[in-house]
Structure 1
Amino acid sequence: MSSVTISRVQCEHYQNPLGIEEREPRLSWKFQGDVSDWIQSAYELRIVRQPIGEEQKAEETYRIESSQSVLVQWPSSPLQSQESAHIQVRSYDQQNSPTAWSDIDIEAGLDPQDWNAVPVTCEKQDAARPRKPFRTRGVFEAPAKFSKARLYITALGLYEAELNGKRIGDEYLAPGWTSYHHHLVYRTFDVSETIKSGQENIIGAWVGEGWYAGRLAFRGGKRNNYGERPALIAQVVIDGKVVAATGPEWEWKYGAIVNSEIQNGEIFDSNLQDDWTDNRSEDDWQRAETLSTPQAQLQASQSPPVREVDRITPIEIITTPSGKTVIDFGQNFAGIVRILSEPPSSGELIIRHAEVLEHGELGVRPLRHAKATERIILGGKVAGYEPKFTSHGFRYIEITGWPDVKLTDVAGIVTHSAMERTGHFTCSHPLINKLHQNVVWSTIGNTISIPTDCPQRDERLGWTGDIQVFSPTFNYLFDSSGFLKSWLKDVYVDQLNLDGNVPVTVPDILDDFHNQRFAVWGDVTVLTPLDHYTAFGDIDILKEQYASGALWLEKGVVRASTGLWNPDQYQLSDWLAPKAPPDAPGDAPTDTMLVADAYLIHTTRTLSRIAAIIGKEEDAKMYAEQVTSMTEAFYAEYITPNGRALSDTQTALALLLQFDILPESPSRDYPAGWASRLSTLVEKDNWKVATGFAGTPIILHALAKADLLHHAYRMLQARDCPSWLSPVLLGATTIWERWDSMLADGTINPGEMTSFNHYALGSVASFLHSVVGGLSPVAPGWKEISIQPRPGGTITSASTSFQSPYGLVSCEWKIQGDKLEVDVQVPPNTTAKVVLPGVSEEIGSGKRHYSVSWEKDPRFPPKGTETAYGATPSENWEP
C-alpha cells in the first residue's frame, strides 16, 4: 500500500455534489503525503449507481492507465435525472502500489421535464416602489416510509426556505444573482430528516425582490431589471415522486419584514412575527397567484452559495462629536449585523452602516444613494434578528434607540460565496502582511454571488474589468473555479444580446453603456478563461468560452483599417490613475488608445494560444497573423525609430514589457530601452505608483521581468501616497478604490469614485505570491510548478502556500547571514523546477531543503538622482 493518500475526491467544481447539472461529471482527487517523486501510473474507479425508483445497480469497476487526476472523464453511461452514485477512487504509483480507497457520493439534479413547479407570488404590488417581502407555503402528506426526500428550490428574487418551522440550509441571498433572462440557478437540499413521515408537512419560504426586481446601480438606479413580481419556484420530491410543488393551491401572506432592499436595508416589525410553517393557522392567508414558467434555463450552479464565513465581535463603542453612538467592528467587511440581546421593548432601533468615520462622524457620503439602514420596530422578540434580503459593506454602525448598548449585544456576520481558501502568504515585513490581509478581506467582500467592484455603495456590480485584472490573484487565494465558471456563462449570454459587445458589468443592467466598447473590460472574455485554465486545469472552460472570446474580437472590437482599435472609440483604459483628478477618473496620463491597442494585441495572441490548446489550428494561425500585422501598426503609431514609446509613462512601458509587444524581426533591443526608461520614470516618480487599472496589476511584474527588482521592492515598500502601503499606514483594513480614498487629514476624498473596499489594486498580491513567495504554475492546474523566490528589499523571510488541484505546494525561505535557506513542498503527481542562486533543477514530489549562498542586491535601496531644479529623491519607505 502506498504511503501517499487521496485527501479529497471532487466532482467537477462542486463543493457539494448534490443535484449536479452534469450527466457525465468529471472527477478529481488531491493527494497528500511526503513521498519523493511520486507519480500516478493508473487509477481505479468503483461506481455503484442508484437510479431513482430502481434497484441498486451492480458495481462498475474501471482501471485507467493514466497520470491524470484532475477532471478525468466520466467512464460510465450518463446519469439519469435524480440518480445517485457512490464512487470510490484509488491511485497506483509507478511500482503499481495502490493508495487506500477514497470516496464521494454524487447525485444528479432534475431534467427540465421533471419540473412540475410554477412560480407563485403574492398580490401585485406597485412596481415603482420597493416590493414588500412575503411568505408563501404549501402543505403535503409524507408517506409513512421513504428512502430520501429532496427540496429543489429557486426564486425570481431571493428566498429563505423553511420546512416544518426549521430553516432549510444556511444560505444568504439565495439563489444569488444571475442573468435571470437566461440562467436561473436552483439548489438541491436533502430534507429527509426534516420531513415528518406519515404526517402533514408545511413547506414555505420568504420571498424578497432582491436583484430581480429591486433597485440596482448608481445615478438613482433602476427597478424591475428582470421582472416586476418576485416569485418562488420549488418542489419536494420523495423517492422520485413530487409531493409538493409551487402552484395555485399554495397560499401567501405578508409578515414581519416590512421592507428589504439590497442597497437600502430592511425594515422589520418585531410585533408581527408568527410560526408560519410550524402552525397551520389560516388567519389572513390568501391563495397564491401563479406566473408563467420563466424562459430562463433552470440549472444547478457550481458556484458556492453565499454563507456566513466569519463572525466579528466589535472592539469599541464611540460617542461621536454630535453625540451619536457608533460601534466599531475593527474590520471593514461585507455582510450584516446580528442582534444578540434584547434591546428596549418600545420605540424604534435604527442601525446605519458605513466603512469609515469622517472627523468622528459616520462617513456615509461614499454610499451615494444607498441608505444601508436597518429599522427595527420594537415590541416583540428581537434577540437573534438579522436582516434577510440585504447586505452592507461597513466597519462602523451608528445605533439609535438603544442607549445602553454593549459590545456583546451585536455581532458582525461576514458573508460571501463560501469558496475554499487555498492561498496564503506571510513575510518578515508587518505592513506587507497587513496589505496581503487587506487583499483577502476585499476578495471576501466582493464575492457575494458575483465578482463585484464594491460591496457598500449604490453600485455593487460585476464589473468585467475589475475581475479581469484581479483573477490571477483571486484564483490563488480561493478556489474560485466554480464561482468564475458560473459567472462566465452569464458573460457570454449577455454578450450575445449586445451583438458581440461585452457589457461593462455582468449581469448586464447598465443600458447607458451598451454603445461603449472598452478594452481591458471586454478582454475578460479571453484572458479570464485562460487564467481559470492555468489555475485549475479545466480545458472545458476554454472550449465553453471560446465563442465568447472570438465574438469579442470579431464583432465587439471597433477597428481602424490597421486592425487596431478605432481611435474615435472612447476608452476607460488606465482608469483611476493617481494623477487623474477626483472629478475626472478617466483622465490618465497614458494614451488611452495605446493601452487599448496593447491589450488588443495581447488578447489576440492569447486567443491564438487558446485556439491551439483546444485544437482549432486554423483559428490559431489566423489570430497569430493578426498579432503580427497589428504589432507592425502599433509600432508605426506609438514607437519612435529610436524605440521610445510616445506615451512616456509607467503604464505604457509596463504593458510593452509584460505583454512582449515586439515585431517579428526587431531592429533593436527594445525591451532593454524600455527597461532603462522605466527605471528612470520610477525614480523620477519617487517610486510612487503612477499606474491605473491597466498598469497597476503588472507594474511590479514588469519591473521584475526587466531585471529591475530593486525598483519593484522599493515601490512595494514605499510610504508616500500613492503607494500600496500608504492606505495601510492610514489604518486601512481592505483595499481602497483610490490610494487616497481617505485623505491624510481624515477627510474622505471628494471624488465620486471613493470606495474603501475595491479589490482591483489588490492584484499586487500576485507579485507577493509568485515573486516574493516564489510559486507559480507552469502547466495548467499546477501539474508543473515553478519555485523561484526572488528576495529583495528588506524582506528577510517569506512563506507562501497554495492548495493546488493536486495537493499542497509551498515555499518558505529565510536569509541567514550569507545563506538563503529554502524549504519547498511539491504535491504527489506533479513536478517542479526549482531556481535559486546556483541551483536550477527539476524535482518531483516531496519536501526538500536548500541552503545556497546569498548576496544582497547592491542596487537596493535605489537612491534616485538629484538635480539642480528637481525635488530631492524620497527616502520615505518602510524598511
Structure 2
Amino acid sequence: MSTITHTSTAVVDSLWLENRRGGSNLGIGERRPRISWTLSADDHVESVELQLTREDGCIEQHTTPGGSNRLVPWPFAPLASRETVILRLRPTASSGAADAEWNSGIEIEAGLLDRSEWTVPFVAPSVTAPQGELRPGYLVRAEWDNSSLGIAPGDVAKARIYSTAHGVYELELNGAPVSEDLLSPGWTSYSHRLRYQTYDVTEAIRSGRNAIGVWVADGWYRGRIGFEGGLWDVYGDDVSVLVQLEVTLHSGSVISVPLADSWRWVTAPITEAGLYEGENYDARLLPTGWSEVGFDDAGWESPQVLDLAAFPAELEPPTGPAVRVTETLRPLSIEAIDGNRIRLDFGQNIAGKLRIRVAGPAGQVVSLHHAEVLEDGALGVRPLRSAVSIDRYTLAGGGLEQWTPRFTLHGFRYAELENWPGGIDTVDVEALVVHTDLERTGWFDSSHPGLNRLHENVVWSMRDNFVDLPTDCPQRDERLGWTGDIQVFTPTALRLFGAHGTLGGWLRDVAYEQADQGHVPNFVPWIECGFPNHPTAAWGDAAVIVPWEMYRHDGDTRVLTDQYVSMRAWVDLVDDLTRHTGLWDEGFQLGDWLDPAAPPESPGDSQTDKYLVATAYHVRTARILAETATILGKSADAAHYRAVAERATRAFQAEFIAPNGRVVSDTVTAIAVALVFDLFATPEQSARSGDRLLQLVAAGDFHISTGFVGTPIICDALVKAGGLDAAYHLLLQEELPSWLYPVTMGATTIWERWDSMLPDGSVNPGDMTSFNHYALGAVADFMHRVVAGLDSAEPGFRSLRIAPRPGGGLTRASASHLTPWGMASSRWHRDGARFSLDVQVPAGCTATVVLPGVDTVHSVGAGAHSFAIDFREAADDPKKPAFRRW
C-alpha cells in the first residue's frame, strides 16, 4: 500500500509587523508586535512555524494554523529594550513538509521602551532668536575616544544612535550622513509626543576617536507655521537636539557614550531657513571636516544643557515611514527668459526641492524660484501668499559644487534660476520628489487616457501631501493637517498606499488635541493662527471616520480600541450640541466647502444647507460608533449610540425631508448625502429623491455642482439612484467644472478648486487657490470599486467582491490592490458585445464575482479566474439617449 503525502508549494512572499508593511523594524516601540505575512499559495498549508532567534542564540518556536497569517499575536517572550531578534517562517503541509525551507526572515530590534532609559539631556545653541525673521541653522558636534571607554578594536557588536530634536535635524558620523531621512523628527503635537529615530551606525564606528555632527534648524517646532502671517515659537523658543549614542560589545555590555561635555556649536552655512520661505546657504561658511575627527573647533561655543525632565512629552518611535527623496526628475525643458533667469519645466507638480550642480566665482548668489503654474508668462506666485519659496546658494568657488536645501520644502512644477553662472548649456538641475516613503498598494488603468491621467493626478497629490502627516497642500503658507480633507480621502488613501502607520500616528495627535481643545480642531496638530476654532461637521468627524475606514480596510480592531475614547468624545460632544435632539442646527460650519457656485472670495457659500450636512454627519458617526462598540464588545455603548443615531435620523427626516421625499436645499450634495448616508424614512422617499438627483445632474449638463462633502459620494449616489450612465457622464465630463477639466488644462495633480485655473489660463482670483489638494480626488476610490469592480466584501479584504460596472464607452478597465493578504486584481475588456473579466484572488482569500447584466453570482477561491459573457451597456441601447463617445 502506498501513502500519498501532500507537500506545500507555498512560500512566504512577505513578512511584516503590525501595519508597517514595507517599513523598518529597527527601533520599534512594541514589546509584543503582531505578525503578518503573505504566502505565494495556500495549497495544503496546514500550519506555519514561527522561529525566533535571540541575540544569545536561544531559539523559540511556535506553530499557528495555516489560515491565521494576519496580525498574529506575538507568541514569544516579550522584547526588551534594545533587543535584536531574527524572525523566520516556514509553511508546513499535512505531511509535515520535512524538507520545507525557512524564509530569509526579518531582523527586529526594539527601541528604548521606557523613558527612564533616556540618560542624556537636550543640547541647544545658546542664542536668542528674535521672532518675525528667519533664523539660521546650526552645527552641533562632539567627539569621543573608544579607547578611553575601554572599547578595543573588534569589541563592537552594534552601535545605535537614538535621537530627536526640537526643530528638524540631520546626523553625520565621521563625516558621512547617518541616514537618508529628511525633516526628522517630523511634525507631531510636540507638547504631547515627540518621535525619536533609531539609527544603526555599527559600520561607521571606528577604533579610537570618532566624531558626530548634527545639522539643526527651526522646522515646525520653532519656525513660522500657519497662515495669516503665521506664528513663531509655537512649541518653544529652543532649537535643540537629543542624541544618545550606545555601543553594545560582544560581551553583551552596553556603553552609553558620554558626549555631554564635548558638545560644541556654531552657526551653520544655512544663514536662513524657513519651511515656507526657503533656505539661504553660503558655501563659503562651511567648516571643512566639521563632523570628522581632529577638526579644530576652537571658537565654537558650549551649548545650553536642557534637562529632559523639563519636556514632559512622550518620546515615541515613529509608527510610519520617514520622509525621504523618492524620485528624481530631470527638466523637460530649459529656456532663457528675461530678467537674467532660466526657466525649468519638470513636467510634474511635486512636493520637493532642487539639486543643483554649478561652477562659478566665489560669492556669486544663485536664486532658485518655485511655482506650481505659469500665469501671464511668469511664475504664478500669487497663490503662494507669503510662502515666497526662494532658495539662495552662495558659491564657494573653485570648481563644481553640488547643493540642495536641507530644511525647506516647496510645491512646484516650474523653477527659475536667477543669476546662474555660465550659459544655459551649463544648467545641471534636478527636482527631488520628497514625501513620506509609503509603499504603493493600488493601481488603476482604463481605455480612457483622461481618466488614467486623473488617477495619476490623485496619486501624485497624495504623495505630495503625505509629508509626515496628511496635509492640505505642499506649497502655500499653510500645509496643515486638515481633518476634513483626510476624512473624505481616507478610503482612497488606503487604496493607493500603505498609509496605516502615518494615519495611526496622526490619530494619536487628533486625540491629544481633542482633549486639549474640548473638540476635534479643524486641523491637527492645532495652532491658533486665526482660523475659527469650533466643532465642525465633516471635519471633526474625522476622529470617527478615519479609524473606521482603517478598520474596514485592514480588519484590524486595534485602531478602534486605540481611538475609541476619541471617537466617543466626538459623538458625545455633537449630541450635547444638538441638546440631545439629534438636530445640529446652530454654530460655525464649513458645510459643502468649495461648492463650485461659491464666489472666489467666499468658498464656504454653498448652496447646500450647512446644518443638513452637520446633522447628516452626526447620524453617520453615531452609527459608526454604535457598530464600533458592538465590535469591541461594549454592548451598553452600542445600544446607547444606536439610540443617538436613530434620534438624529428622525431629526434629519423631520427637518430636511418632505413627506414626498423632497430634500431641503434641493441640491445635488443634499440629495447625495441623504441617499448615501441612508437617511430616508421609506423606500418610496429614496426612489423619489433619487429621480430628483438624476434630474438635477442632467439639468446641470453633467457638470460638477458639489464641494468637499458631496464630491466623494456623488457617483455612488447616482449609481444608487439607478443612474450608472449618469455617473459616467459626470465622471468623464471635460468642461468646467468637472474632474477632467483640470486634465484638459494640463494638470498633473488635483486642484483645490474646480477652477483653480480659468479657461484663459489665469489663476482663480481668490486668495485661497492651490493646484495640489487631494480631497476632490476621492473619486479614485469609486474608480477602483465600481469602474474596475475591485472591492472588499468584509473588513480586511479576506473576502473580495468583484463586480465591475462598465459604462461610459470604456472598452477596458482594471484595478489591482496589494491587500493585507496579497495582490488582488480585476481586469475587464469589451470587444463589441463580448465582455471578458480576469480576476486574481490572493492566497487564503475568496471572492464573489458579479458579472454585469446577469443574475448569476460566482464564488471562487485563491488564484486566477476568467469569465466571459455577452453584454450591452445602457449607452448601447438605441432606445436610450446616446452617450458621448470618448
Q: Is the 8 A contact 2:586 2:611 kept in 1?
A: no
Using the size of structure 2 for normalisation, the TM-score is 0.94
Q: Can you list the C-alpha shifts for 1:278-306, whole angstroms capped at 9, x where unaligned?
A: 14212321111111312111111121000
Partner SS state of residue 287, structure 1:
coil
Q: Can you list the C-alpha shifts for 1:753-810, whole angstroms capped at 9, x where unaligned?
A: 2000000011010011111111111222211111111111011101111111111001
Could you tell me which residue of structure 2 aligns to residue 120 of structure 1?
123
Indicate whether 1:186 and 2:196 are aligned.
yes
Could you tell me which residue of structure 2 aligns to residue 31 of structure 1?
39
Could you tell me which residue of structure 2 aligns to residue 44 of structure 1?
49
Partner SS state of residue 286, structure 1:
coil
Could you tell me which residue of structure 2 aligns to residue 299 of structure 1?
316
Indicate whether 1:374 and 2:391 are aligned.
yes
Offset of residue 564 of structure 1: 2.8
Question: Structure 2 CA distance, aligned partners of 1:92 and 1:787?
Answer: 31
Within 5 A, what are the aligned runs for 1:468-867? Answer: 468-499=487-518, 501-510=519-528, 512-513=530-531, 515-555=533-573, 559-561=577-579, 563-663=581-681, 666=682, 668-837=683-852, 838=854, 839-858=856-875
- Note closer, same or farther for the CA distance 1:96–1:771 as it changes in structure 2 (3 Å cut): farther
- Note closer, same or farther for the CA distance 1:594–1:85 as it changes in structure 2 (3 Å cut): same
User: What amino acid maps onto 1:522 in structure 2?
Assistant: G
Could you tell me which residue of structure 1 aligns to residue 263 of structure 2?
250
Question: Structure 1 CA distance, aligned partners of 2:175 and 2:135?
Answer: 24
Q: Is the 8 A contact 2:52 2:85 kept in 1?
A: yes
User: What amino acid maps onto 2:389 in structure 1?
Assistant: A
Could you tell me which residue of structure 1 aligns to residue 67 of structure 2?
67
Partner SS state of residue 472, structure 1:
helix
Unaligned runs of 5+ in 2: 1-6
Question: Structure 2 CA distance, aligned partners of 1:714 and 1:862?
Answer: 18
Q: Can you list the C-alpha shifts for 1:545-570, whole angstroms capped at 9, x where unaligned?
A: 01101011113565233533542211
Could you tell me which residue of structure 2 aligns to residue 206 of structure 1?
215
Offset of residue 377 of structure 1: 1.5
Greater RCO structure (CA 8 Å; 6+ sep): 1
- Note closer, same or farther for the CA distance 1:462–1:634 as it changes in structure 2 (3 Å cut): same
Indicate whether 1:349 and 2:349 are aligned.
no
Question: Structure 1 CA distance, aligned partners of 2:183 and 2:668?
Answer: 42
User: What amino acid maps onto 2:37 in structure 1?
Assistant: W
- Tell me the matched-pair count: 856
Question: Structure 2 CA distance, aligned partners of 1:508 and 1:382?
Answer: 44
Offset of residue 626 of structure 1: 1.3
Could you tell me which residue of structure 2 aligns to residue 446 of structure 1?
465
Question: Structure 2 CA distance, aligned partners of 1:723 and 1:624?
Answer: 38
Q: Is the 8 A contact 2:335 2:424 kept in 1?
A: no
- Note closer, same or farther for the CA distance 1:504–1:23 as it changes in structure 2 (3 Å cut): same
Indicate whether 1:461 and 2:480 are aligned.
yes
Q: Can you list the C-alpha shifts for 1:657-702, whole angstroms capped at 9, x where unaligned?
A: 1111134xx3x52221111001000001110110001000110111
Q: Kindly, what percent of the aligned residue pairs are identical?
A: 41
Offset of residue 522 of structure 1: 0.5
Indicate whether 1:137 and 2:141 are aligned.
yes
Question: Structure 2 CA distance, aligned partners of 1:246 and 1:521?
Answer: 46
- Note closer, same or farther for the CA distance 1:729–1:558 as it changes in structure 2 (3 Å cut): farther
Offset of residue 479 of structure 1: 0.4
Could you tell me which residue of structure 1 aligns to residue 3 of structure 2?
none
Partner SS state of residue 590, structure 2:
coil
Partner SS state of residue 529, structure 1:
helix
CA RMSD of aligned residues (A): 2.0
Q: Is the 8 A contact 1:697 1:763 kept in 2?
A: yes
Partner SS state of residue 368, structure 2:
strand
Question: Structure 2 CA distance, aligned partners of 1:513 and 1:370?
Answer: 18
Partner SS state of residue 156, structure 2:
coil
Higher deviation after alignment, 400-409 or 844-853: 400-409
Question: Structure 1 CA distance, aligned partners of 2:163 and 2:550?
Answer: 29
Could you tell me which residue of structure 1 aligns to residue 16 of structure 2?
10
Partner SS state of residue 771, structure 1:
helix
- Note closer, same or farther for the CA distance 1:565–1:392 as it changes in structure 2 (3 Å cut): farther
Q: Is the 8 A contact 1:270 1:378 kept in 2?
A: yes
Question: Structure 1 CA distance, aligned partners of 2:156 and 2:500?
Answer: 36
Offset of residue 94 of structure 1: 7.1
Within 5 A, what are the aligned runs for 1:44-123? Answer: 44-50=49-55, 55-56=56-57, 58-65=58-65, 67-92=67-92, 100-102=101-103, 103-110=105-112, 111-123=114-126
Question: Structure 2 CA distance, aligned partners of 1:344 and 1:441?
Answer: 38
User: What amino acid maps onto 1:67 in structure 2?
Assistant: G
Partner SS state of residue 737, structure 2:
coil
2:442 is aligned, of 419, 423, 426, to 423
Q: Is the 8 A contact 1:793 1:860 kept in 2?
A: no
Could you tell me which residue of structure 2 aligns to residue 404 of structure 1?
423
Question: Structure 1 CA distance, aligned partners of 2:523 and 2:469?
Answer: 10
Q: Is the 8 A contact 1:155 1:232 kept in 2?
A: yes
User: What amino acid maps onto 1:123 in structure 2?
Assistant: S
Question: Structure 2 CA distance, aligned partners of 1:19 and 1:862?
Answer: 65
Question: Structure 1 CA distance, aligned partners of 2:48 and 2:631?
Answer: 25
- Note closer, same or farther for the CA distance 1:84–1:401 as it changes in structure 2 (3 Å cut): same
User: What amino acid maps onto 1:174 in structure 2?
Assistant: S
Question: Structure 2 CA distance, aligned partners of 1:810 and 1:271?
Answer: 55
Offset of residue 720 of structure 1: 1.2
- Note closer, same or farther for the CA distance 1:750–1:580 as it changes in structure 2 (3 Å cut): same
Could you tell me which residue of structure 1 aligns to residue 347 of structure 2?
330
Indicate whether 1:262 and 2:275 are aligned.
yes
Unaligned runs of 5+ in 1: 865-874
- Note closer, same or farther for the CA distance 1:325–1:639 as it changes in structure 2 (3 Å cut): same
Question: Structure 2 CA distance, aligned partners of 1:558 and 1:283?
Answer: 64
Partner SS state of residue 780, structure 1:
coil
Question: Structure 2 CA distance, aligned partners of 1:824 and 1:105?
Answer: 35
Partner SS state of residue 781, structure 1:
coil
Q: Is the 8 A contact 2:584 2:614 kept in 1?
A: no
